[in-house]
Amino acid sequence: MSSAIYLVKGREKSLLRRHPWIFSRGIQKVEGNPELGDTVDVFSNQGQWLAKAAYSPQSQIRARVWSFEKEEINTEFFIKRLEEAQAMRESIIVRGGLSGYRLIAGESDGLPGITIDRYQDFLVCQLLSAGAEAQRESLLNALKHVYPTCSIYERSDVSVRKKEGLKERQGVLHGDTPPDVVVIEENGIKIQVDIKSGHKTGFYLDQRDSRELSMKYVNGKTVLNCFSYTGGFGLYALKGGASQVINADVSQPALDNAKANAELNGFDLSKAEFLNADVFKLLREYREKGVKFDVVIMDPPKFAESKAQLNGACRGYKDINMLAMQILNPGGTLLTYSCSGLMEQNLFQKILADAALDAGRRMQFIERFSQAADHPVDSAYPEGFYLKGFACQVN
């Protein structure tokens, strides 16, 4: 017998608006004995059928909706979702000449808890929820059907799985083991991706559009690329004609990869430096020594993982952006980003305004950025908008 959950009175509202999450406090009654990740029918308090969802008994997000239609959640369902996601991205892939892109962005592509990135013929999956884990066979069969020539690798080595009662997992799911580097191309730039031990699934695909847009600010300029990872913005800066690019990161493997990427693209290495440094300290050192740049790029890791961390995150963003403004030449450009979903765009803009005041500099917002187009935001799930940025002219 299939299981069902009945919601607390009034709690059907968000589902009727097609938001995919059901919180534990919104559930009145559970029928049957659903286990970790099982598919359940969701009913309102009055018994109106609402959705098919995956049950996650250990998580605050107690169920995540697979579908608002009465349909089976099986291989065919996943094939349909994958084909929709691929079709939506087709023109983006062609325009950017992309051999690396995000194929599935979880809730935003109607597949809660599932991330899939493609690097050449390697599909790299993260299964982040109990429902995703329970559907692993169906998903795998669907991927093999839609991408018969691709190998499939799992990078579910992420701590959020604990909240869902799952252990971390990593390894080959189908086909070949990824080589140590897979070379992808975006906007004419080649990038080596380490699928097995790089960050996330190997690369920050979400900054692709911002990297491209950054090129208009760098011609003939000195550029400090903070939190460079494998070069990202620094490679675009070299392509865009920067006179000097310093890439700073604390990860030596990332910096080695960044240098290899600059070589791979045939860029003039005498214009590039790869500095193993803590950005917080480095910015202070530059300020003390009076070292200045024309362009500073600031793309830090997530500062806020939870609401409790948001205040601290605000201080962190204000601090590094203030320092960045202080080491800019008059008329310089700060390209600054926040990938914390909890940091809303308006709040980030206010923090940057405060940072300018503290830095004692006049600042104008001249361009706004967001996550690349293969990271869509479903209209029913505004949480999917997490990456934002600004180009700031600093006088």
CB of 28 or CB of 252, closer to ligand SAH: 252
* The dihedral sign for the CA sequence 365, 344, 250, 209: negative
**Which of 20, 34, 113, 232 contacts ligand SAH by CB under 6 A?**
232
For residue 360, the 8-state DSSP code is: T
- The candidate with the shortest Cα–Cα distance to 345, out of 312, 368, 374, is 368
Number of alpha carbons in the 13 Å side-chain half-sphere of residue 178: 30
Binding segment toward ligand SAH, per CB under 6 A, in 26-34, 157-165, 182-190, 224-232: 224-232
> CB of 100 within 8 A of CB of 119?
yes
For residue 191, which of 97, 116, 295, 103 has the smallest C-alpha distance? 97
Q: Among 128, 178, 126, which residue's Cα sits nearest to residue 150?
A: 178
> Is 125 marked active-site?
no
Nearest-approach distance from CB 282 to ligand SAH, in angstroms: 7
Task: Report the C-alpha gap between 173 and 49 in whole angstroms.
Answer: 36
Q: By Cβ distance, which residue is nearest to ligand SAH?
A: 232
Q: Is 229 in the site for ligand SAH (CB under 6 A)?
A: yes
Q: Kindly tell me which residue out of 177, 278, 350, 368 binds ligand SAH, with binding defined by CB under 6 A.
A: 278
Minimum distance of ligand SAH from residue 320's CB (angstroms): 9
With CB under 6 A as the contact rule, the residue among 279, 324, 391, 394 that binds ligand SAH is: 279
Binding flag, residue 253, ligand SAH (CB under 6 A): no
Residue 204 sits in the site that holds ligand SAH (CB under 6 A): yes
Q: Does 280 bind ligand SAH (CB under 6 A)?
A: yes
From 212-220, 246-254, 257-265, 286-294, give the range in contact with ligand SAH by CB under 6 A. 246-254
For 168-232, the DSSP string reads -EEEEEESPPPPS-EEEEETTEEEEE-TTTSSTTSS-GGGHHHHHHHGGG-TT-EEEEES-TTSH
Q: Assess contact for 231 and 262: CB atoms under 8 A.
A: yes
- Token match 């239609």: residue? 69
CB 192, min distance to ligand SAH, A? 12
Instruction: Note whether 303 binds ligand SAH by CB under 6 A.
Output: no
Is residue 16 near ligand SAH by the rule CB under 6 A? no
| Residue 100 · residue 50 · CB < 8 Å | no
* The residue count for the chain: 395
Candidate residues 250, 252, 263, 350; the one interacting with ligand SAH per rule CB under 6 A: 250
274 belongs to the binding site for ligand SAH (CB under 6 A): no
Tell me if 299 contacts ligand SAH by CB under 6 A: yes
Among 249, 294, 374, 378, binds ligand SAH (CB under 6 A): 249
Number of residues that bind ligand SAH (CB under 6 A): 17
CA dist list (Å): 89 to 92, 94, 386:
5, 9, 19
User: Contact between 251 and ligand SAH (CB under 6 A)?
Assistant: yes
Query: Rounded to the nearest whole angstrom, what is the least distance from the CB of residue 278 to ligand SAH in the complex?
Result: 4
Minimum distance from residue 74 beta carbon to ligand SAH (Å): 36
Q: Following DSSP, what letter does each residue of 287-345 receive, concatenated?
A: HHHT--EEEEEE-PPPS-SSGGGHHHHHHHHHHHHHHHHHTEEEEEEEEEEE--TTS-H
Looking only at the bridges linking them, the beta strands covering 39-43 and 49-55 are: antiparallel
77 binds ligand SAH per the rule CB under 6 A? no
Contact flag: residue 49 with ligand SAH (CB under 6 A):
no
From the list 29-37, 124-132, 223-231, 359-367, the region that binds ligand SAH by CB under 6 A is 223-231
Q: How far is the CB of 205 from ligand SAH (least distance, A)?
A: 9
Q: What is the DSSP string of 129-147?
A: SHHHHHTHHHHHHHHHHH-
> Rounded to whole angstroms, how far apart are CA atoms 43 and 12?
8
The burial class, CB within 10 Å (0-12 / 13-18 / 19+), for 190 is: middle
Least distance in angstroms from the C-beta of 238 to ligand SAH? 14
Smallest gap from residue 204 Cβ to ligand SAH (A): 4
Q: Per the residue annotation, which of 125, 226, 314, 339 is the catalytic one? A: 339
Structure tokens at 348: 């980030």
Residue 233, interface with ligand SAH (CB under 6 A)?
A: yes
The catalytic site residues sit at 339
Binding site residues, ligand SAH, CB under 6 A: 204, 207, 227-229, 232-233, 248-251, 254, 278-280, 299, 301
